[in-house]
């Protein structure tokens, strides 16, 4: 991968719906800086753009959100998956977009009236990623991309449009600083359901992993993680047996697959076990789903001694 700095955000003058005749035009406009590959990324910096062309049998495009399959393991001749994909290269860069909260430009290859062209779709965020067995039987990496909500809070500092000229920040910057100063990105959205609120009450807002409770003048704060996530394509249910009450730190670690829970409720990737309330029955099938799709052995937390 070339090592020029990655460019995130919208390209000036190119709004969702803008059409390009071919990949070369898309490349010249700066929207997608690869002429063949579906992902344009810079090593260690994240993925700046993708082209969705239905090239993978496992893709799913719902407009405001889509499932994108990673690269690798595909036969050039048949277009089918013939080997496992790994979380390396462009796939790893796409995953970085989630932890770094970076937007990704999405362009779609479109065929209408016998004509094939490319339509820019706008900015999306990578909300989650996981591995699963594709229809071919081989492991694939899947990324869920969601359209960035319209920036309703229309003040100067939330301008999402970025011009390439602004990419040099004026103050001394660390080596990695791809975004212009006016680009505010959504790093993380935490949602709650009625069942989330139930489980937090049950544990008095204490984390089932570390027993921490965050207190504030307006009451305690905790987050609930759905073990098998809600929504397509996971369709985990919103029930008590599918949620954990966690502090924000452990919620993120759980979502990112840095730790998981065994069927006997001991922890994978961390020492110890979950604290379980006698009224809280966790369903092992959901725990297994999370282990298989999310857990990546890694050193979950580190701290200076």
| Residues within window 24-43 making contact with a second copy, judged by CB under 8 A | none
Q: Which of residues 264-293 bind a second copy (CB under 8 A)?
A: none
| 92 touches a second copy (CB under 8 A) | yes
Tokens of 109: 């290859």
How far apart are the two ends of the chain, measured CA to CA in Å?
A: 37
Which of residues 85 and 98 has its CB atom nearest to a second copy in the complex? 98
- The reply to whether 252 sits near a second copy by the rule CB under 8 A is yes
For the window 93-112, what string marks contact with a second copy as x by the rule CB under 8 A? --xx-xxxx-----------
User: Stretches 23-31, 68-76, 238-246, 282-290: which one binds a second copy (CB under 8 A)?
Assistant: 238-246
CB 225, min distance to a second copy, A: 12
Structure tokens given for 171: 């103050």
β 60-61/19-20 pair status: unpaired
Q: Nearer to a second copy by C-beta: 89 or 136?
A: 89
Selected binder of a second copy within 218, 264, 272, 278 (CB under 8 A) = 218
Q: Please, how many CA atoms are within 13 Å of residue 187, restricted to the half-sphere of its CB?
A: 4
CA quadruple 121, 186, 301, 211: dihedral sign:
negative
Work out which of 248, 262, 265, 273 binds a second copy, going by CB under 8 A.
248
1: contact with a second copy by CB under 8 A? no
**What string marks each residue from 40 to 79 as x (binds a second copy by CB under 8 A) or -?**
------------------------xx--------------
| H helix intervals, 11-147 | 23-28, 89-100
- Of 14 and 222, CB closest to a second copy: 222
- With 0-12 / 13-18 / 19 or more C-beta atoms within 10 angstroms meaning exposed / middle / buried, residue 254 is buried
Q: Which of residues 177-216 bind a second copy (CB under 8 A)?
A: 177, 179-181, 183-198, 201-202, 206, 210-216
- Beta-bridge mates of residue 109: 118
Q: What is the DSSP letter of 285?
A: H
List the one residue from 73, 121, 134, 257 that touches a second copy (CB under 8 A): 257
Own/partner pairs, 21-30, CB within 8 angstroms, 24+ separation? 21/117, 21/118, 22/117, 22/118, 23/51, 23/118, 25/118, 26/51, 26/107, 26/118, 26/120, 30/164
Site for a second copy in 124-183 (CB under 8 A): 129, 146-147, 149-150, 152-155, 157-158, 169, 171, 173-177, 179-181, 183
């Amino acid at each position: 991968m070339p090592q020029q700095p990655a460019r995130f955000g919208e390209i000036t003058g190119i709004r969702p719906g803008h059409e390009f005749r071919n990949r070369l035009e898309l490349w010249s406009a700066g929207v997608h800086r690869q002429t063949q590959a579906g992902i344009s990324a810079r090593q260690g910096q994240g993925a700046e753009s993708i082209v969705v062309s239905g090239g993978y049998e496992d893709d799913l495009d719902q407009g405001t959100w889509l499932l994108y399959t990673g690269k690798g393991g595909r036969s050039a001749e048949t277009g089918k998956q013939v080997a496992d994909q790994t979380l390396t290269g462009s796939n790893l860069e796409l995953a970085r977009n989630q932890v770094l909260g970076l937007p990704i430009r999405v362009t779609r290859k479109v065929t209408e009236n016998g004509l094939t062209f490319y339509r820019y779709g706008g900015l999306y965020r990578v909300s989650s990623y996981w591995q699963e067995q594709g229809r071919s039987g081989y492991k694939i990496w899947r990324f869920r991309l969601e359209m960035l909500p319209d920036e309703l809070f229309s003040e100067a500092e939330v301008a999402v449009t970025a011009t390439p000229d602004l990419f040099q920040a004026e103050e001394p910057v660390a080596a990695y600083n791809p975004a212009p100063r006016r680009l505010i990105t959504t790093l993380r959205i935490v949602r709650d359901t009625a069942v989330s609120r139930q489980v937090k009450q049950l544990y008095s807002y204490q984390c089932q992993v570390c027993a921490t409770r965050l207190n504030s003048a307006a009451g305690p704060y905790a987050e609930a993680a759905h073990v098998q996530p809600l929504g397509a394509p996971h369709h985990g249910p919103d029930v008590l047996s599918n949620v954990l009450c966690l502090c924000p730190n452990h919620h993120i670690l759980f979502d990112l697959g840095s730790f998981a829970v065994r069927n006997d409720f001991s922890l994978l990737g961390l020492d110890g076990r979950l604290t379980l309330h006698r009224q809280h029955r966790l369903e092992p099938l959901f725990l297994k789903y999370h282990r298989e799709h999310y857990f990546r052995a890694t050193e979950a937390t580190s701290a200076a001694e």
